Structure 1
Amino acid sequence: MKKVTKRLLIVIPAVLAMGISTAHAEWDEDKGCLSCHEGIEQFSEIEEMADLTCVDCHNGDGAATTLEAGHKELWVNPSDLRVIDKTCGECHSEEVENAKTSMHATMAGMISGTRYNFGSQTRDSIHATYDVKALKTGREGTVESLTQLPSYDPTKAESDTNSPGDDYLRNQCLRCHIWSDGHQRDGDYRASGCAACHVEYSNAGTYEGGDKAIDKTQKDRPRQHRLTKKMTVDQCQHCHNRGGRTGVSYKGMMESDGYGTPYNEDGSKQGKLHGKHYNFLQADLHYDAGMSCIDCHMKTEMHGDGYLYTKKEHAVEVRCETCHGTTSTDATLKTSRGNPMNNLKREGKKVVLTTKNEGKKLNVPQLNGAELSEEGYVAMVKIASHMEKMECSTCHAAWAPQCYGCHAKQDIGKPNGDWLDGEHSDISQLGKKANLKKEAFSWNESRSYVRWETPALGINHRGKVSTFIPGCQVFLTQVDGEKSIVTNKTYVTKDGTSGISHNPIQPHTMSKKSRTCEECHTNPKVLGLGSGQYDIKRNFPDGQAPINFELERFVDENGKQLQSTSHEEARPFNKEEMDRISRVGACLACHGSKEITANGKAPDDVTHKKVIQRMVEKAR
């Protein structure tokens, strides 16, 4: 530890002689903080942190005899990024500097994707929550610097630097970054800075510890005054419940579209989580096995590594083959950048994962040399291109969240909080919802419908077949109180495609049982062609739809892209690819996947036509 206060050095010898814990020594002697906060938990028992006093972290005056004096210049959250250099950064300077460049802090991907779909920039990342410079440069998918997102002024003409999309981000989307405290509602309570992850909050956001000064019924309090390195899935879920929804999907949760029972067994009404009611679907097999997010995702992915990544797919290092290998290669036990997965070990021929929270040992199935089912052998060995050209999740993601139509209503006559600008005497509280300046405008969101079954496929940034889900499908309605300004406006991107979008995703809904061959090779929706059932015109007043394609349809039969994708190099299938996929589907109708690969093709087209002709004649 680089810094220990002078006062603490004086106190330690005396309290050691008295047999008093140094973690509480100064508080007991001064009758200061602990005279009110009796029973509060020691923040950490880690050797380097065990001697920290209240004022070492929180500032204030530990010797004061009144609450006002004791709390003068207090930092309620010492881990907030605005004060962190004077607290956590005293000992963890590298981690702190990296964190400020992480995507958890910059939100570069969300910002660029939203602005791209609002037609105000290309796919390149140019903005972040605040101005930031990279500590390291030169890696693919990174930039050297990012500038703060502009504000929106409705009295000026809409432009690339004055977009309603920027206001949408500032008032709504940007609550989920570690400069802010997040939304104040069940399921979303958390702190800012390091504590966003490392101090656990329950979904109810109430205190469960021993501090007699803290009201156990008051919301927005951590479970305990404790540091943790064992982040639970629920802790990650406090943020990862919108956008790609990977946090809730991992637990098998998909928000309800208004149906389903709202009642508990005792007849009481169910409360909402993240502002929604949920349906419960099949959870990811890794979750069912007892794995938390941190068992796969590396410190460098979450803390940052000094690079300014433009999209999360560039920041994420872990791959399925890291743990499972392929049908022809062993598991690497290392990420795509060569970083070792420290909780993975080889024990003889087995690969064993030790979970970081519970210490549970799990045998990790290995593909190389595995005894595959007949269907698995066909899919992964006989048709080798599946392993070469497809993400594992393409087949093994059992479902994916699909929220169609983001109907966003902005009221420029109603100022509201701006997640990037706050005001408070305690600068560690500037990211708290109650302290936000009313420099953005009020937004109201609704959607057309939600689905989870048969998600579509396309090509991701790695050139592999991947699951696709609706991205930012914004229909903007703008009002000034009761006065209507714009109704159901959609945008066109800089590339000329509709701002209604679909994007590739790893849904985090993995299942041992894969999707069927028939589902992917015969269903138009899976190809991105839509179901053909949603009548876009009848779903808008007087049939005045701002787009001429259904919300599920992001490519036409000729391979023309209809909807945008904000991921560089990602795209729908082209016509050649769709024809090839569908051709297999035609064969499946008669042969089935096993017969196609087992029996091979007819020797020539003439023979094949004769066989079909005989079949037709017999059927007459």
Structure 2
Amino acid sequence: MACHGDVTAFDSAHDPAALGCWVCHQGDRSQRAAGLAHRGMIPVPGNLSSVGMTCGRAGCHAELAARVSTSLMATARGIVSVDRFVFGEQPTPDGEVPISAVGTSPADTHLRQLCSTCHLSKSKDTPGPVTELSRGGGCVACHLRENGPRPAHPGLTIDVRDENCFGCHSRSGRISLSYAGWMESDGTKPGTRELLDGRSVEPSSDDVHHARGMACIDCHTAEETMGDGRLHLHEEQATHVRCETCHRLTRARTASAGDWNREVAVIITLRAARAGRQPTNSALVEDRSGEVLTHARPLAGGVVELFGKLDGLRRLATPPSRACRAIRGHDRLSCQSCHSTWISRCSGCHTQRDERGEWVEYEVMPRATPPTLGILERDGRSTIEPFAPGMVLTLGMGPRTDPLPEASSSLIGPRARFARLYAFAAPHTTRREARGCESCHRDPEALGYGHGTLRIVEEKGEPRWMFEPTYELSPFDRLPKDAWIRFRSEPAGSASTRKEARPLDLQTQDRALRVGACLSCHDATKDRRLFEDFGESLRGLSSSCRFPGRVTK
């Protein structure tokens, strides 16, 4: 501090008066001359390449650093394996290769050029605040907080802001945008704003949790983001908290203060002190992982009490309403399948490797629609969940074409590859109101057929379903370019970026459409009893009621 005595705003937990500068920045503390003292100095501590000498040194956060280094946030192993799978370089979308070990194959070159910046192992080389363009930086990617202009020293905090998540999570699934109520657009509508990377976004409905003031870290826990010491291949395996963690249908597990580890005890005490309240002596335990949720505890009547990690405000999460459980046949539906109002989707993208070996993406403007529904096997259950196009694209090799030809048939060639894979999604557009019955049972996009018109027609005196797609058929597989599956068919082959995920089978499609046919005449609200036990209602139908697939004598 003899040279940097003007620096201010140090955090009490990292005050150089107690620790010294070298604990975080290294260098030679025995030297007085700047040139000698700065030898081996680390300008930006926290990068995972040197974390063992900084944040992860003995006596500091060694255990956390070890967990982070093997987490999905650091290794991006799920992204690597799915990309290789799409390129045909491995047989399944599962793999354990980290982003740091990718080679020079077409898939790995694509990863390095277009996908490799969004992981914690990428180093932050220049001091500066976190912005929309920030990527990587290990510990400081999340925990960095600016304390004002220089000479104020940047701070480190456990209160991770949504802005720190934005740089990586506003891409691909665009959940940072969706959660806050922003939708990528062409920039022509009122209220549009431009992001620092040049993309335009327009306002849409935000997630109900965002509207209530909740931050990303109020749902996403320390073990989810920093790793829990287990090997997870994909993000849905690493995420612990579900809707029903707080909106409970079953009795909650709790952990008393005597059962907490040091990390949990320190965080609960620290956050309570900052909010000016007494720390709780019990906390909610997440059902599947056993992680103690430091800001939540169960109350009577199935209610869960939450304290915001950033604002300290008290909120109450109540059990689901009777409507969520009253209708037979909905037992496989996840909360998200009904309460996710929209998702950003794009299909028909093309990625071209030019003569210089560079991958160039030709993007299609995303649309915002209710999610498609599919089936996911996890937690020992088969559930119906939201899905969106994950990899519906062509991969080409050849000279750069600008602009890309509008006719997708021009992309066919001996060096072209086509993929039609949907991905399980967490839309982050939850609302209290559920999507309407017709938006599942009569919506071709929800069932996987793509955007278009779905209607009942008469053919040879019998009613049948007819689907007219909006978009042209792909020359590769003769499906509409935005579809997941063929209209009223049994799905075949690989159709998802996960082994555990698949489209709706034909039986499930037809069961959904059977309800949809009745919705042609019957209002779901006025005729609620008809749909609450639909099987019983079908047995009592008159012979004059006709719909596709009904056998009458």
TM-score, normalised by the number of residues in structure 2: 0.79
The residue number in structure 2 matching 1:251 is: 180
Alpha carbons 2:479, 2:485 under 8 Å: kept: no
Q: Residue deviations 1:138-170, cap 9 Å, x none?
A: xxxxxxxxxx22223xxxxxxxxxxx2211111
The residue number in structure 2 matching 1:334 is: 285
Counterpart mapping for 1:208-219 below 5 A: 208-211=148-151
Pick the aligned partner of 1:356 from 309, 313, 321.
309
The residue number in structure 2 matching 1:380 is: 324
Matched, 1:553 2:490: no
Pick the aligned partner of 2:111 from 158, 163, 169.
169
Pick the aligned partner of 1:104 from 52, 73, 90.
73
CA distance in structure 2 between the partners assigned to 1:445 and 1:582 by the alignment: 37
Give 1:552 shift. Answer: 2.0
In structure 2, the CA distance between the partners of 1:554 and 1:211, relative to structure 1 (3 Å rule), is same
The residue number in structure 2 matching 1:192 is: 137
The residue number in structure 2 matching 1:241 is: 170
Matched, 1:445 2:397: no
Pick the aligned partner of 1:536 from 450, 468, 472.
472
In structure 2, the CA distance between the partners of 1:567 and 1:257, relative to structure 1 (3 Å rule), is farther
Give 1:545 shift. Answer: 3.8
The residue number in structure 2 matching 1:593 is: 524
Identity of aligned residues (%): 29
Alpha carbons 1:473, 1:501 under 8 Å: kept: yes
Matched, 1:74 2:41: yes
The residue number in structure 2 matching 1:434 is: none
Pick the aligned partner of 1:467 from 375, 386, 389.
386
CA distance in structure 2 between the partners assigned to 1:182 and 1:86 by the alignment: 16
Counterpart mapping for 1:25-40 below 5 A: 27=1, 31-32=2-3, 34=4, 38-40=6-8
In structure 2, the CA distance between the partners of 1:588 and 1:49, relative to structure 1 (3 Å rule), is farther
The residue number in structure 2 matching 1:570 is: 501
Matched, 1:297 2:220: yes
Matched, 1:41 2:4: no
Question: Which letter does structure 1 place at the counterpart of 2:293?
Answer: M
CA distance in structure 2 between the partners assigned to 1:534 and 1:587 by the alignment: 24
Question: Which letter does structure 1 place at the counterpart of 2:113?
Answer: N
Give 1:259 shift. Answer: 3.3
Alpha carbons 2:117, 2:136 under 8 Å: kept: no
CA distance in structure 1 between the partners assigned to 2:18 and 2:317 by the alignment: 40
Alpha carbons 1:191, 1:199 under 8 Å: kept: no
Counterpart mapping for 1:413-432 below 5 A: 413=356
CA distance in structure 2 between the partners assigned to 1:183 and 1:453 by the alignment: 39
Matched position secondary structure for 1:98: helix
Alpha carbons 1:176, 1:239 under 8 Å: kept: yes
Matched, 1:118 2:87: yes
In structure 2, the CA distance between the partners of 1:85 and 1:380, relative to structure 1 (3 Å rule), is same
Alpha carbons 2:44, 2:124 under 8 Å: kept: no
Give 1:449 shift. Answer: 3.3
Give 1:39 shift. Answer: 3.0
Matched, 1:323 2:246: yes
Alpha carbons 1:198, 1:229 under 8 Å: kept: yes
CA distance in structure 1 between the partners assigned to 2:328 and 2:535 by the alignment: 20
Give 1:398 shift. Answer: 1.0
Alpha carbons 2:64, 2:226 under 8 Å: kept: yes
Pick the aligned partner of 2:545 from 599, 607, 612.
612
CA distance in structure 2 between the partners assigned to 1:88 and 1:605 by the alignment: 64
CA distance in structure 2 between the partners assigned to 1:62 and 1:565 by the alignment: 55
Give 1:551 shift. Answer: 2.6
Matched, 1:504 2:427: no
Farther off after superposition, 603-612 or 514-523: 603-612
Give 1:527 shift. Answer: 0.1
Matched position secondary structure for 1:88: coil
Pick the aligned partner of 1:150 from 103, 112, 124.
103
Matched position secondary structure for 1:389: coil
In structure 2, the CA distance between the partners of 1:482 and 1:337, relative to structure 1 (3 Å rule), is closer
The residue number in structure 2 matching 1:56 is: 23
Pick the aligned partner of 2:339 from 385, 392, 396.
396
Matched position secondary structure for 1:452: strand
Matched position secondary structure for 1:585: helix
Matched position secondary structure for 2:64: helix
Q: Residue deviations 1:529-570, cap 9 Å, x none?
A: 112444436xxxxxx944422232111111224772111220
Matched position secondary structure for 1:509: coil
Matched position secondary structure for 1:577: helix
Question: Which letter does structure 2 place at the counterpart of 1:464?
Answer: T
Give 1:454 shift. Answer: 2.5
CA distance in structure 1 between the partners assigned to 2:293 and 2:413 by the alignment: 44
Alpha carbons 2:337, 2:385 under 8 Å: kept: yes
Question: Which letter does structure 2 place at the counterpart of 1:366?
Answer: P
Matched position secondary structure for 2:446: coil
Matched position secondary structure for 1:76: coil
In structure 2, the CA distance between the partners of 1:400 and 1:50, relative to structure 1 (3 Å rule), is farther
Give 1:582 shift. Answer: 0.4
CA distance in structure 1 between the partners assigned to 2:413 and 2:377 by the alignment: 25
In structure 2, the CA distance between the partners of 1:412 and 1:193, relative to structure 1 (3 Å rule), is farther
CA distance in structure 1 between the partners assigned to 2:154 and 2:228 by the alignment: 28
Instruction: Give 5+ residue unaligned stretches, structure 1.
Output: 1-26, 131-147, 153-163, 202-206, 213-223, 264-269, 414-440, 538-543, 614-620
Which one has more relative contact order, counting CA pairs under 8 Å at least 6 apart? 1
Matched position secondary structure for 1:363: strand
Instruction: Give 5+ residue unaligned stretches, structure 2.
Output: 254-283, 453-468, 547-553
Q: Residue deviations 1:72-117, cap 9 Å, x none?
A: 3221222111111111111221111111110001101111111111
In structure 2, the CA distance between the partners of 1:511 and 1:519, relative to structure 1 (3 Å rule), is same
Alpha carbons 2:132, 2:196 under 8 Å: kept: yes
The residue number in structure 1 matching 2:267 is: none
In structure 2, the CA distance between the partners of 1:60 and 1:40, relative to structure 1 (3 Å rule), is farther
In structure 2, the CA distance between the partners of 1:605 and 1:54, relative to structure 1 (3 Å rule), is closer
Alpha carbons 2:347, 2:393 under 8 Å: kept: no
The residue number in structure 2 matching 1:134 is: none
Matched, 1:280 2:203: yes
The residue number in structure 2 matching 1:477 is: 396
Matched, 1:178 2:130: no
Provide the aligned C-alpha RMSD in A: 3.3
Give 1:342 shift. Answer: 2.0
Give 1:481 shift. Answer: 6.8
CA distance in structure 2 between the partners assigned to 1:452 and 1:151 by the alignment: 36
The residue number in structure 2 matching 1:12 is: none
Matched position secondary structure for 1:499: strand
Question: Which letter does structure 1 place at the counterpart of 2:510?
Answer: D
